[in-house]
Structure 1
Amino acid sequence: MRFFNTEGPNRQENHYTLPPLSRWDLGEILALIDQKKYFLLHAPRQTGKTTCLLALAEHLNREGRCRAVYANLEVAQAYRAQLDKGMTAVVEQVSRGARDQLGDAGAADLGREIILSSSGGTAVGEFLARWSAQSLQPLVLLLDEVDALIGDTLLSLLRQLRAGYPQRPTAFPQTIILCGVRDLRDYRIHASSEREAITGGSAFNIKAKSLRLGDFSAAETRTLLLEHTRETGQVFTPEALAAQVWELTRGQPWLVNALAYRACFELHEGRDRRQPITLALIDQAKEAMIVERVTHLDQLAHKLQEPRVRRVIEPILAGTALGEVPTDDRDYLVDLGLLRRDGAGGLVVANPIYREVLPRMLASGPQDSLPQISPTWLNADGSLNPQSLLTAFLAFWRRHGQPLLGSVAYHEIAPHLVLMAFLHRVVNGGGTLEREYAIGMGRMDLCLRYGAVTLGLELKVWRDREADPLVDGLEQLDGYLAGLGLDTGWLVIFDRRSNQPPIAERTACQTATSPQGRAIAVIRA
């Protein structure tokens, strides 16, 4: 039985899959190859790049106009500044690929000879030149995970490819396709000793084009899910099929497959093929993935520690403008798949799952640092008491807010993350905490759902040289609560101005009436 795949390249006989070459403009790629171009293919991790590259190599070899070899260069990453070993690893991967994919034992023998006789700085160029000269047909080389190489190994590889470029196709590959997460313009190449930055373009200015593999469209997402229905007879409800998977993932291939696999193959109700896959099952699968920090989402969390990622993500979470964030940093997050440019050209988090994961991951540090808190916010029957929750939060913030703020790496949104850590302790598997935020929104909105209780919160920050955000906050909270169908809510104003009294002294709560007549608990923290 086939299944939704989340590990490694897709195989038609084992996995539900879309036709790999339909995800790129195959005509454009074949035209570039016919024109003997060198070019790039890039996309975020776990979007199907390797599956598409392997399918392209198979297509080219089946056509018979050239000989195509796929090679993954990630193994060379371990050698970092050890140039000889790094280039040896590249030669080994390409020559073995020729042997295994084309049956070219001569290429493997040549690779061993080059490794024994050549210096590391020229090994790749020498191998490709001699291999191309011996080949009866033009060679096309598909190099995957190129941006896994760093320092002198990446610089040397690019320069050797550039040096051999004029000899194509008789004494160098007709086409070389470099594939990775980032566009070549964003490769950060440094000399291993002086740490002198060298731009990718200076080392590889023969690039003809840079193509990007996109996420699944809504139609492609639906087509993939229906593979399961055709295979097993198990249907998706119209809501789950038409909207929920696509809306949660925005077509990110790994997320689509992971959600569907968990709903159809791991959750007990989903394994019963007589039962449909419902919207509730998809939501349950989503929540389980986030809580368990599955590999893909854990890698995402790791990226949040990079300074250039923080420079963009922190103002987005805070709802402030990006300011002077460099273009390269913004493009880097788009290349990583963390952000996307919406129809109006603005940057937004790529999909609702990532939008949920980013603050939750950042709040995990404060959450782990929380002291033991008695759940005084619960009634005797286990239901949530909003007034008791408010009392408990004020006591918690006065006592623990100040020290917990220091446990957060993202200082601009430290109060938001500590509050979210507290609320995660409140829901603790019995409810959910939803978030809304965006560039320039000036706030973060939270929706806590626990049993029959829904609580809407708006978080604002009062900074130096700014007016009290109370008036704007009440007006904005009106709109948020109206969307939730609520008559009451919390407005939390974090006072981050200089020279303020300690948190324990300035934390207070009062009731205010919003412009639309709602009773709002205004918490000044």
Structure 2
Amino acid sequence: MPRWFNTAGPNNPRNNYTLPVLRRLPRVRELVEQELYFVVHAPRQVGKTTALRTFALELTEEGKYTALLVSMETGAGLLDDTGAAELAMLQAWRQAAEIDLPADLQPPPWPDAPEGSRIGAALAAWARASSRPLVVFLDEIDALEGPLLVSVLRQLRDGYRLRPRGFPISLAVIGMRNVRDYKLASGGTDRAHSASPFNIAAEALTLRNFALGEVGELYAQHTAETGQVFLPEAVDRAFHWSQGQPWLVNAMARQLVSVVVPDRAMPITKAHVDQAKDILIERQDTHLDSLAERLREPRIKAVIEPILTGGRISDVPPDDQQFVSDLGLIRISSGGRVEIANPIYEEIFIKVLSWAIRASIPELRPTWQKPDGRIDFDKLIEAFLLFWRQHGWPLLGSTSYHELAPHLVLMSFLHRVVNGGGSIERDVAIGRGRMDLLVRRGLDVFAIEIKVWRADGDPDPLPEGLEQIEEYLSGLDMRSGWLVIFDRRPSAPPLSQRLGASKGATARGREITVVRA
């Protein structure tokens, strides 16, 4: 039986298509051999547990170390009872040792110790009893919060001085956050001045996403075992949508080979990948849903909202930007641009943020549709102006992302226009105050640039908007488009006076329909 693409829990190479796990953590062996304590941080579902457990098994098998990955997660349900949490975690550790370590390397019975010192006492007793230097990887450290997290980290810091015989010779804490954020999770509030409770960490490593070639390498394992081919265009498309995020790479492949193209004789194309992407967005599995839930957090909203609107994030504290990056929600592009981590996440974010708006829009009569199914663009403009006059203002209050609200309402209207028979592609220029949309429905394709006039002292966005849409249309090789300007100034004229559409042109003669709302 061939292996399969895994989307649930750590990989098992016997059952799951798997890439060499330490390729993305090249320095971890060096840190262990230098007898250092360190942090491994990366977003959820990128392979941290798989990589460090595999590495621990390798270290033990090589015969120099006793190495084990253990989880802290069982303590999460007992955050208010440090003693009970310690006992629950130590029980989970023993179960992990029984599975992953030979009989002669099992830890001794955990010593009786006072509440708040049991983790340190257990590690000290184990290090003294072990016939080899002890290496421990503490997974899911993020599960702990508040006083319990402080207690565990302080026990590690206190035991550090007992090395090499009295405490693990090398130790890593593994989670989503870098060590600088542990002081926040443990109850600290002053990012700039409070000390980290884990200042014994020599380095902080992160686990990168898959490169394009690695996506192809992973998919080639399926081809080798089943004969089903991923065309190069399909690999490129999967990388485009996922940007190499490991869970997305596997989840798309799983949908492709199980649902979209189950016939192993059929090659997988980029069109198939697009279908798999749509399935993932529609299903919004646990991984995607948990990311979307975090959009409500003020610290995350402060970063995500200006990225989606094309605003500026220069006023957002660098620690907050790094925090959102550590969660895997944003990335820095090769050109230095801050953007959403991948197009699938962006689609999910827009879907979640516009849910209430879409649910509130009444049924729209498609007055813009010609008898042959094509779009009458003049009537589409009329339909949008009528829609905005009747529903626009109330819908602006349907999302907590107020700066993004006009964009979400327009996109929700356009989703009704394409009605499942097309697509809406977005491009956001961070810091330039614009969002570009490319709408496809059958044979019809049209481009829209969105600008928002926010402050009374700001100039009319029209001249800048015409320059920017000229640039956008030029890149698309299109001769016409829409420039939509939402007037959100406190002193804006009444909607009845400002709502309308007019014809304009760019400096190079491209025809522009200017919509003011």
Residue number in structure 1 paired with 2:354: 363
Change (3 A) 1:502 1:89: farther
**1:17-39 C-alpha deviation (Å, 9 max, x unpaired):** 101122211xx322322222111
SS at match of 1:176: strand
Instruction: Look up the equivalent residue of 1:37 and give its one-letter code.
Output: L
Change (3 A) 1:295 1:316: same
Residue number in structure 2 paired with 1:30: 29
1:394-409 aligned at under 5 Å gives the runs 394-409=385-400
The Cα RMSD (Å) is 2.0
More off after superposition, 340-349 vs 164-173: 340-349
Change (3 A) 1:452 1:503: same
Residue number in structure 2 paired with 1:518: 510
Q: Distance in 2 between matches of 1:200 and 1:277?
A: 53
More off after superposition, 158-167 vs 382-391: 382-391
**1:389-436 C-alpha deviation (Å, 9 max, x unpaired):** 211111110111111111111111111111111112222211111100
Q: Distance in 2 between matches of 1:148 and 1:492?
A: 45
What are structure 1's unaligned runs of at least 5 residues? none
Moved beyond 6 Å, runs of 4+: none
Aligned-pair distance for 1:109?
A: 6.7
Residue number in structure 2 paired with 1:254: 247
Give the TM-score normalised by structure 1.
0.93
Is the 8 Å Cα contact of residues 184 and 201 (structure 1) preserved in structure 2? no
Q: Is 1:150 aligned to 2:162, yes or no?
A: no
Residue number in structure 1 paired with 2:439: 448
How many residues are matched?
514
1:408-427 aligned at under 5 Å gives the runs 408-427=399-418
Aligned-pair distance for 1:446?
A: 0.6
Instruction: Look up the equivalent residue of 2:294 and give its one-letter code.
Output: K
Q: Distance in 2 between matches of 1:202 and 1:247?
A: 38
Q: Distance in 2 between matches of 1:108 and 1:68?
A: 11
1:299-448 aligned at under 5 Å gives the runs 299-448=290-439
**1:322-380 C-alpha deviation (Å, 9 max, x unpaired):** 13210111111211111122334342222232233333332222112222322323233
Aligned-pair distance for 1:477?
A: 1.0
Q: Is 1:298 aligned to 2:292, yes or no?
A: no
Aligned-pair distance for 1:44?
A: 1.0
Change (3 A) 1:344 1:126: same
Counterpart of 1:272 (choices 251, 263, 278) is 263
Q: Distance in 1 between matches of 2:106 and 2:141?
A: 21
SS at match of 2:196: helix
SS at match of 1:382: coil
Is the 8 Å Cα contact of residues 2 and 14 (structure 1) preserved in structure 2? yes
Instruction: Look up the equivalent residue of 2:205 and give its one-letter code.
Output: L
Aligned-pair distance for 1:123?
A: 1.0
Change (3 A) 1:224 1:416: same
Residue number in structure 2 paired with 1:205: 199
Is the 8 Å Cα contact of residues 318 and 444 (structure 1) preserved in structure 2? yes
What are structure 2's unaligned runs of at least 5 residues? none
Is the 8 Å Cα contact of residues 190 and 196 (structure 1) preserved in structure 2? no
Q: Distance in 2 between matches of 1:35 and 1:399?
A: 68
1:29-108 aligned at under 5 Å gives the runs 29-104=28-103
SS at match of 1:121: coil
More off after superposition, 126-135 vs 407-416: 126-135
SS at match of 2:109: helix
**1:284-325 C-alpha deviation (Å, 9 max, x unpaired):** 111221122232222221121111111111111121221321
Between the aligned residues of both structures, percent identity stands at 45
Q: Distance in 2 between matches of 1:338 and 1:473?
A: 29
Residue number in structure 1 paired with 2:7: 6
Is the 8 Å Cα contact of residues 42 and 326 (structure 2) preserved in structure 1? yes
Aligned-pair distance for 1:190?
A: 5.8
More off after superposition, 393-402 vs 338-347: 338-347
Q: Distance in 2 between matches of 1:484 and 1:363?
A: 27
**1:142-180 C-alpha deviation (Å, 9 max, x unpaired):** 111112211011111000001111112212111111111
Aligned-pair distance for 1:466?
A: 0.9
Q: Distance in 1 between matches of 2:275 and 2:285?
A: 14
Q: Distance in 1 between matches of 2:298 and 2:200?
A: 31
